[in-house]
Amino acid sequence: MTETTPAISVRDLHKGFDSNQVLRGVDLDVNTGRSLVVIGGSGTGKSVLLKCIIGLMRPDRGTIEVDGRNISRHTESDRRYMTRMTGMLFQGSALFDSLKVWENVAFRLLNAEKKSRKAAREKAIECLGQVGLSPEVGDLQPAALSGGMQKRVSLARAIASDPQILFFDEPTTGLDPIMADVINNLIVDRVKALGATAVSITHDMASARKIADEIAMLYQGRIIWRGAPDEIENSGNPMVDQFVHGRAEGPIKMAVRKS
């Protein structure tokens, strides 16, 4: 990747479901080696944006370029290109519950890269160590782990193939504040160690401040503000201000029916 080409470039991205237009022209650049956090309320299209970028959803309109390559046509070749370059941590961890923890971490190595079980297991144990889990955890089933441990395993799985771009979907949702901070630290640590570009979505402001080089806010299908974490308190944008401070009153109206 070059200095001038952003790792990810999104232009005029539109995506809707029946009559519900979720993304209405998103423009977004993420430079190589930077960590961008997209914040926004529930239902504003953060997950849809992430799934469009990673190739799990086909956008209705607009372009997505990764390292200068247009991947918005959603072809098989685009899919292969993206899966080769990226890793993702899912909101609910999305571990395969029929496989052991180490087989989850080594899933890509075993099934896509066709590594031997011995080599894949060694790499999986190494990745588990990088997220603070002991080798014994590798032989457990995912159902035997706590939510925080499952997130760590999911992070280990995402980094197992040394991806150039990492995506984090609500990485701290459902965790207590201490475990959330542990996960945030691990994300910062692993992204730096890999020298990767990171895109995260969250509505957890503590997490956003910790892991972001830049924060962007998505509202009504568009990016309405973007800046450094220390600028967000004085963004000058009333919607960002309301979201950051978690106020019910303000320009963002929630659809709550009063009896």
Partner 1 sequence: MNIFALTGSLTIEGLRETGRMANFAGRGALSGILGPFYWRAFFSSLMRIGFTSLPVVGLTAVFTGAALALNIYDGSLRFNAETFLPQILSVSIVRELGPVLAALMVAGRCASAMAAEIGTMRVTEQIDAMSTLAVDPYKYLIAPRIAATTLALPILVLIADIIGIYGGYLVAVYGLDFSGPVFIRNIAEFIENRDTISGLIKAAVFGFLIAVMGCYYGFRSRGGAQGVGAATRTAVVAAAVAILASNYVMTSFMVEF
Stretch that binds partner 1, among 8-16, 92-100, 200-208, 223-231 (CB under 8 A): 92-100
Is the CB of residue 16 less than 8 Å from the CB of residue 22?
yes
| Cα–Cα distance, 205 to 235 (Å, whole number) | 14
State how far Cα 120 lies from the chain centre. Answer: 24
Parallel, antiparallel or unpaired: strands 214-219 and 35-39: parallel
Look at the block and give the residue holding tokens 């918005």. 72
| Position 168 contacts partner 1 (CB under 8 A) | no
Q: Which of 58, 69, 73, 84 binds partner 1 (CB under 8 A)?
A: 84
Which x/- pattern over 39-78 shows residues binding partner 1 (rule: CB under 8 A)? ------------x--xxx----------------------
Q: Which of 95, 120, 153, 239 binds partner 1 (CB under 8 A)?
A: 95
Q: What is the DSSP letter of 114?
A: -
- Looking at the Cβ atoms of 76 and 230, the one nearer to partner 1 is 76
Q: Helix crossing, 177-194 with 147-159: angle to 10°? A: 10
Least CB distance to partner 1 at residue 203 (A):
18
Assign 141 to helix, strand or coil: coil
The site for partner 1 (CB under 8 A) is made up of 51, 54-56, 79-80, 83-84, 86-88, 90-92, 94-98, 107-108, 111-114, 157
